[in-house]
Structure 1
Amino acid sequence: MFLAKVTGSVVSTQKVDAMVGQKLIVVEPLRLNDKTRAELIGTGRTFICVDTVGAGEGETVLIVQGSSARFTEQTKKLPVDATIIGIVDQVNVGGAAVFKMGQ
């Protein structure tokens, strides 16, 4: 699993039937700032994920990849490699909050 920030969405009118109706989201993975260890920062990479929880742009989300991406009820029969499985409220590291929703 990893944390990511929702940065956009994908519109695809031509796709396999199994993917019709699936919301596709663009995310940037996050990591702990090595210098301050007080915040999450972007990695500069981009992934496309199927959204199973109704995430929106700017939100921090929890993502699974690989075979785990097909373990949700919504994705078990889909050809996907990355799935959003949660919207993050807070991240604590070393007893301190490095992320809080809305801040």
Structure 2
Amino acid sequence: MFIARVTGSVVSTQKVASMTGHKLLIVEPYRLDEQSRDALVTTGRTFVAVDTLGAGEGDYVLVVQGSSARLTPETSKLPIDAVVIGIVDNVRIDKLSVYDRT
């Protein structure tokens, strides 16, 4: 599981039938800044993830990949490798607020 920021979306009008109606997001994984430990910084990678929660561009989300992506009731029969399983409200590291959605 990792924290990612939603940077966009993907529209695909032609896809396998089981994927019809599923929102696809572009997510960019973030990690804790190793030097300062007071901010989240991008890893420079991007993924396409199925959104099951209604996340939007700019939201920080929790993403799982691989076989874990198919363990939710909504995704158990989908041919996917990444799914949004949570929208992040805040991140605290060593009693320091690194991110707050509000």
Q: What's the Cα RMSD here?
A: 0.6
Give the distance between the partners of 1:47 and 1:93, measured in 2 at CA. 25
Q: How many residues align?
A: 102
Tell me what 2:41 maps to. Answer: 41
Give the distance between the partners of 1:68 and 1:92, measured in 2 at CA. 25
Give the distance between the partners of 1:62 and 1:24, measured in 2 at CA. 15
Give the distance between the partners of 2:66 and 2:13, measured in 1 at CA. 24
> 1:12-91, aligned counterparts within 5 Å?
12-91=12-91
Tell me what 1:101 maps to. Answer: 101
Post-superposition Cα deviations, 1:68-88, rounded to whole Å, max 9, x if no partner, equal 101111100000000000000
Q: TM-score, normalised by structure 1?
A: 0.97
* CA-CA distance at 1:92 after TM superposition: 0.9
> What secondary structure does 1:38 align onto?
coil
Q: Percent identity between the aligned chains?
A: 60
Q: TM-score, normalised by structure 2?
A: 0.97
* CA-CA distance at 1:54 after TM superposition: 0.4
Gaps of 5+ in 1: none
> What secondary structure does 1:15 align onto?
coil
